[in-house]
Amino acid sequence: MQSTSYVSPLKAWWTVFVLFIAYIFSNLDRNVLSLLVPSLKADLNVTDTQIGLLSGVAFAIFYATMAVPIARASDSRSRRAIISWGIVVWSLATAASGLATRYMHLFLARMGVGVGEAVLTPASISLIADIFPKEKRGFALGVLGSANYLGGGLALLLGSAAITWVASLGPLWGGLKPWQAVFMIVGLPGLLVAFLMLTIVEPRHRQTEKQPAGNLRDLKDFISARPLLFTCHFLGFSLEGAVAYAVAVWGPTFFVRHFHLTASEAGLVLGPFLLVAGPLGGLIGGWLVAHWTKKGRDDAPMLTGLLGTVLVCLAIAIAPLMPSVIGAAFFFGLSYAAGPLAALGAFAALQLVTPVKLRAQVVALYYFVVTIVSIVGGATIVALFTDYLFRAEAAIGYSISLTAILLGPLATLLLWISLKPFARMAQDADA
């Protein structure tokens, strides 16, 4: 009989640390594009809509479709190897973005970034589940989750530093454009993280030893038996994600166009807010779920997610209308703090009501829906409003605000509808 002991605390937390670093580089490679919009538009002669497609469709098409097969592979194969190869792919694809001389070259490179980054979350969650006992697993996942927000803040700060440094160098070797050099600078160091990933443990797959993972028929039967709950949950949180992602893609550009900051200055304004507000929101969200659960609320996770959704959409609707840099940054910062409430509520709800053998696949399916709707929608809707409704680049703030005004109430309504069916299901759940 195999030992049921977990790995040593030192090895377990070293794994969390390395994964934390991987998440930071993932966010840096994904989000640096938002700081390079002015340069890309000038050198490649592209529209806002084309930039939106780079950040949305190009990235999400494989990021979403790879989620389910990667989740299934993570239940039986080496998570360490899967993540390491994923980092290699997204790092080289980011660096390859710096070789682009045409829009389509950059589009294909961004598709490569999506392919690589699709491996990180499913394989990481599987690893954490196998190296930590149940009572410590939540905290470890919380630490890892904070990396998304810390990584987003560092992406803006480090990206701004890279832009400033490249600009100070003068003419670059081989006629390289500054934005091309920035892609290479942020992409290539990720290869070192891929090698660092080889130092973590690869534990045995405990869950598949206890019981086989559910098949696709099991997944279909489980979801189709509860259409109202999962439709409202998936679409509600996806629409909230679209509003939040609109700021991730277009926030720096708003400060450049509306307040006439440089791209580097815009990153320095937003970076600290994201760096502080995101982890703070995660702590508040965790406390709210625990508090409402102790109060006897069976819908505590969904209620927390609903509150986060309302705050995110309200803050983003207001932020672009503020007359000062600090005012706009404050409300964007409020949305950064509220975002983790929505994300934590969404995942906690799924974990609570889904059978153990289906959890990885339900999360993967949720990732598929939320990626398509939020990343594609959030990146593209703002651009379409700017190009075809307002027909002025300077109106980017109105486009962001309008996106929140239109999508926010619908997201709120869907999540409100889901509260009662979720509570009923949670009462009978084998959590």
Nearest one of 40, 38, 186, 37 to 102, comparing CA atoms? 40
Q: Is the pLDDT of residue 364 over 70?
A: yes
Domain count, the chain: 2
Give me the mean pLDDT over the 279-304 stretch. Answer: 87
Q: Which residue has the higher pLDDT, 128 or 90?
A: 90
288: tokens are 């709210």
Whether residue 195 is found in the same domain as residue 219: no
- Domain identity same for 182 and 272: no
More confident residue, 116 or 211: 116
Domain boundary among 158, 177, 201: 201
- Rounded to 5°, angle at Cα 102 from 100 and 108: 65
State residue 254's pLDDT score.
Answer: 97
The answer as to whether 101 is a domain residue is yes
Domain assignment present for 423 = yes
Cα–Cα distances (Å) from 334 to 110, 234, 250, in that order, read 29, 23, 16
Distance CA 214, CA 207 (A): 11
pLDDT mean over 216-235: 88
Report how far apart, in Å, the C-alpha atoms of 295 and of each of 27, 106, 238, 288, 422 are.
Answer: 36, 51, 28, 10, 17
Q: Who has greater pLDDT, 416 or 32?
A: 416
Task: Tell me the C-alpha to C-alpha distance, in Å, between residue 64 and each of 60, 220, 374.
Answer: 6, 18, 11
Question: Phi-psi region for residue 260, left (φ > 0), alpha (ψ -120 to 50) or beta?
Answer: left
Mean pLDDT of 253-262: 95
Range of the structural domain that residue 182 is part of:
1-201
Q: Which range, 16-30, 204-218, 279-293, 406-420, has the best average confidence (pLDDT)?
A: 406-420
Per the model's pLDDT, the better-predicted residue between 346 and 66 turns out to be 346
Q: State pTM to two decimals.
A: 0.84
Q: Tokens representing 346? A: 């969404």
Token pair 């670059």 in the structure block, residue: 172
Does the pLDDT at position 4 exceed 80? Answer: no
Cβ atoms of 196 and 19 closer than 8 Å: no
Does residue 207 belong to any structural domain of this protein? no
- Pair 165, 40: CB distance under 8 Å: no
Residue 431, pLDDT > 90, answer no
Looking at the fold, whether 66 and 6 belong to one and the same domain comes out as yes
Q: What is the mean pLDDT of residues 405-421?
A: 96
Residues 252 and 150 in one domain: no
Whether 40 is covered by a domain: the verdict is yes
Nearest to 34 by CA among 263, 335, 191, 350: 263
* Residue 136 and residue 237 share a domain: no
How confident is residue 430, by pLDDT bands cut at 50, 70 and 90?
very low
The CATH number of the domain holding residue 411 is 1.20.1250.20
Q: How many CB atoms lie within 10 A of CB 193?
A: 20
pLDDT of 398 higher than 50: yes
Indicate whether 60 and 168 sit together in one domain. yes
The pLDDT, as a whole number, for residue 75 is 66
What local confidence, expressed as pLDDT, does residue 361 receive?
75
- In this model, does residue 429 exceed pLDDT 70? no
Task: Tokens for 100, please give them.
Answer: 């682009």
The whole-number average pLDDT for the span 92-97 is 95
| Number of helices (H), then strands (E), in the chain | 20, 0
For 151-205, what is each residue's pLDDT tens digit? 788 888 888 888 888 888 877 777 788 889 999 999 999 999 999 999 998 877 6
Find the mean pLDDT for residues 65-88: 81
- Domain finish residue from 201, 230, 247: 201
pLDDT, residue 138, reads 61
Residue 42 maps to a domain:
yes
The residue type at 54: L
Residues 290 and 419 in one domain: yes
Nearest Cα neighbor of 160 from 265, 277, 270 is: 265
Q: Which of 150, 175, 201 is the last residue of a domain?
A: 201
Residues 175, 306, single domain; the answer is no
Question: Are 42 and 152 found together in one domain?
Answer: yes
In sign, the C-alpha dihedral spanning 390, 396, 279, 158 is positive
Of the pLDDT bands very low, low, confident and very high (cuts 50, 70, 90), residue 2 is very low
- Please give the angle made by the CA atoms of 110, 116 and 122, to the nearest 5 degrees: 130
Q: Euclidean distance between the first and final Cα of the chain, in Å?
A: 27
DSSP string, 281-313: HHHHHHHHHHHHHHTT-TTHHHHHHHHHHHHHH
Model confidence at 63, pLDDT cuts 50, 70, 90, reads confident
pLDDT band at 257 (very low <50, low <70, confident <90, very high): very high
φ, ψ of residue 188 in degrees (nearest 5): -65, -35
CA dihedral 280, 402, 26, 113 (to 10 degrees): 170
- 259 and 378, same domain (yes or no): yes
How does DSSP assign 199-251, residue by residue?
A: TS-----HHHHHSPPP-HHHHHHHHHTSHHHHHHHHHHHHHHHHHHHHHHHHH
For residue 58, tell me if it sits in a domain.
Answer: yes
The pLDDT of 248-256, averaged and rounded, is: 95
**Is 206 domain-assigned?**
no
Question: What pLDDT does residue 316 have?
Answer: 98
Q: Are residues 168 and 233 in the same domain?
A: no
pLDDT score of 3:
43
In the block, tokens 């600290």 appear at 272
Distance of CA 377 to the CA centre of its chain: 14
Residue 275: pLDDT over 90: no
The predicted model gives 291-310 an average pLDDT of 91
Q: Is the pLDDT of residue 330 over 60?
A: yes
- Regarding whether 322 and 419 lie in a shared domain, the answer is yes
% residues pLDDT > 70 (the chain): 91
pLDDT value of residue 121: 81
Helices (H), 75-189: 79-97, 103-117, 120-131, 134-168, 178-187
C-alpha distances in angstroms, 220 versus 139, 150, 231?
A: 31, 36, 13
* 94 within domain boundaries: yes
**Tens-digit pLDDT profile for residues 121-154:** 878 877 887 887 766 766 677 677 777 777 788 8
Q: Is the pLDDT of residue 210 over 70?
A: no
- How high is the pLDDT of residue 413? 98
